[in-house]
Each structure stands twice: as C-alpha cells, then as structure tokens.
Amino acid sequence: MVNRGKAKLVDGFTTLRATQRHSLEKKYSTKTPAEESQAAEQSPAQKAGQPTKPMSIGRTVMPTQNEIVCYSCGFGFVMRGKADSTQCPKCGARLGLKDETITGAFSDELITAGKVRLTKSAILDGGTIVANDIVLEGLVKGGSIRAYKTLQLAGGAVIPEEMIVAKNLHIGTDASFDFKGEMTFHDIDVQGELKAHLKATGMVTVRAGGHLLGRLQTEHLIVEEGAGLNADVVVEPETSEETESDEAADEIRKTA
Ligand SMILES: [Zn+2]
C-alpha cells in the first residue's frame, strides 16, 4: 500500500539532514494528496506517543522552501534545501544558484538563479547581470540588469530608471527615488521614499517609516501604521488569473 518513495519522503521530514538529502536527490518535489493524508493519519499517534514530532516537521521544512525562477524560460518553481545548481522542471535548463557579491568595477556577464549583491563600491558599466534577486547599493552606469524576482534598491544606489528590469521592486530603508516614467511590477515594497507612476499586478506594501508618492494602480495595497501615502491611488482587485505567488502560497500550505 505504501511504496518505498513515499515512506522515504515521510521519514525525510524527521531530520534536517534527511530533508536536505532528499531535496538534493529530487531537487523539485511536491507532496501528493496521498502523502498529505498519510501525514494527517500519523498526527494523532504522534500526539499520543511523541509530542515533539509535529514541531520538528515545522522546524525542518519551512526554512528550506525556496522559490526559483528559471532564467532560461521564466518558469517559477519551489525547491527544497540548498544546492549550487538545479534543473528547471519545465525546460530542463541547468540553473546555477550561487549567490554573488560585486564590490568593484564590473563589466562581465553574470547569470545565476541566486542573489547578486552590488555593494556601495560596485560600478556596473557595460556588463550583464541576470539573477533571481539583485540588491543594488552601488552604481549602475551602463550594461543591463535583470531580476527575475526582486530588485532591491538600497540607500545610495544609483540606476537610470529605464535600466530597471525586475518582477518585484523593493525600496530599502534610507533609499529615496524619484522616477518619471510609468513602471509596472508585480509586488512593490517601500521602506524608504519612492515617488513614481506605478502599476502593480500583485501587492503594494508601504512599510512603517516608508513613503509613497505619485500615482499608483494596484490590485492589493497595505499601508502599515507609521507609513506615508500621498498618491493618486486606484485599487482594483483582479481575480481572473492565478499568480505565481498564489502558487507559492499553495506550496507552503501543503507542507505546513
Ligand atoms: Zn526553464
């Protein structure tokens, strides 16, 4: 009734090492409904006999969730555990996952499905940076950058607005930007100050201490206590298409 693969998966959640080993083997995995009901069947027994077991499930699984976007085809998927590379389940491309830090002049090509940080002393001039997440603290003069997930602009970051290519935009604390043209993102997170004409297809969050000015059209808006909003705002929920973040949320619910 239970095949070896399923038994192995359930066992894998009992220790972190086993979970990591499992995700290295499979790279990309989701629970089937059968596995979920199996886990549910186990919980009464665990409550009676081993009360600490449900806690270990939460501790080991949650931090290893990692949403990856393929830089070859744009497909988003959830990977468990850490690895230097993985394979896109849709197009089969081998994806590097390493995080990189750039601290000086850079004009090469850097492509990763991990995170790239350009520090305050970094200068991009003529190179190409493609990553899932890009944190910009330094200067972008030329070349191109593309964040398949989030571009975070820190205080002191300098980038021509026409060079911003990202799914999500994050304006860090102490950062202040004034963009003239209309820009579209999925999620926008404002911790500093941002003046812009923005469209968002996902969630806009103005954090405590943050300030958003200009014009905003979004589907979802959160303005935290202590945040400033001084903009023409249109909030129009769009329910016709399921977004990638909804899928990611489903993944988290499945494994919780
Ligand atoms: Zn792909």
The percent of residues above 70 in pLDDT, for the chain, comes to: 68
Query: How many independent structural domains does the chain possess?
Result: 2
The answer to whether residues 17 and 103 belong to one domain is no
The answer to whether residues 24 and 120 belong to one domain is no
The answer to whether residues 130 and 171 belong to one domain is yes
Domain annotation covers residue 169? yes
The percent of residues above 90 in pLDDT, for the chain, comes to: 65
Final residue in a domain of this structure, among 43, 59, 92 = 92
CA quadruple 232, 235, 212, 157: dihedral sign = negative
Q: Report the separation in Å between the CA atom of 131 and the middle of ligand 1, taken as the mean of its atom positions.
A: 14
Ligand 1 ion local residues (Cβ < 5 A): 70, 72-73, 75, 88, 90-91, 93
Residue type, 237: P
Predicted confidence (pLDDT) per residue in 137-150, tens digit: 999 999 999 999 99
Final residue in a domain of this structure, among 40, 61, 92 = 92
Q: Report the separation in Å between the CA atom of 154 and the middle of ligand 1, taken as the mean of its atom positions.
A: 29
In this prediction, residues 212-221 reach a mean pLDDT of: 97
The C-alpha atoms of residue 16 and residue 173 are separated, in whole angstroms, by: 34
The answer to whether residues 101 and 176 belong to one domain is yes
106 C-beta neighbours (distance < 10 Å), count: 22
The C-alpha atoms of residue 137 and residue 142 are separated, in whole angstroms, by: 15
Residue 158: DSSP 8-state: B
Q: Report the separation in Å between the CA atom of 103 and the middle of ligand 1, taken as the mean of its atom positions.
A: 30
Predicted confidence (pLDDT) per residue in 45-69, tens digit: 444 444 444 444 444 445 578 899 9
Residue 217: in which H helix or E strand, if any?
A: strand 211-218
pTM for the full model?
Answer: 0.69
Report helix, strand or coil for 210.
coil
Task: Give the model's pLDDT for residue 58.
Answer: 47
Final residue in a domain of this structure, among 92, 110, 131 = 92
The answer to whether residues 82 and 145 belong to one domain is no
The answer to whether residues 44 and 104 belong to one domain is no
In this prediction, residues 241-245 reach a mean pLDDT of: 50
Q: Report the separation in Å between the CA atom of 43 and the middle of ligand 1, taken as the mean of its atom positions.
A: 37
Q: Tell me which of 25-29, 184-188, 210-214, 232-236 is least confident.
A: 25-29
Domain annotation covers residue 245? no
Predicted confidence (pLDDT) per residue in 134-180, tens digit: 999 999 999 999 999 999 999 999 999 999 999 999 999 999 999 99
Q: How far does Cα 16 stand from its chain's mean position?
A: 22
Q: Residue 47 belongs to what domain range? A: 4-92
- Which class for 248: exposed (0-12), middle (13-18), buried (19 or more C-beta within 10 A)? middle
Q: Report the separation in Å between the CA atom of 69 and the middle of ligand 1, taken as the mean of its atom positions.
A: 8
Q: Which residues of 135-167 are buried (b: 16+ CB within 10 A; e: fewer)?
A: bbbbbbeebebbbbbbbbbbeebebeeeebebb
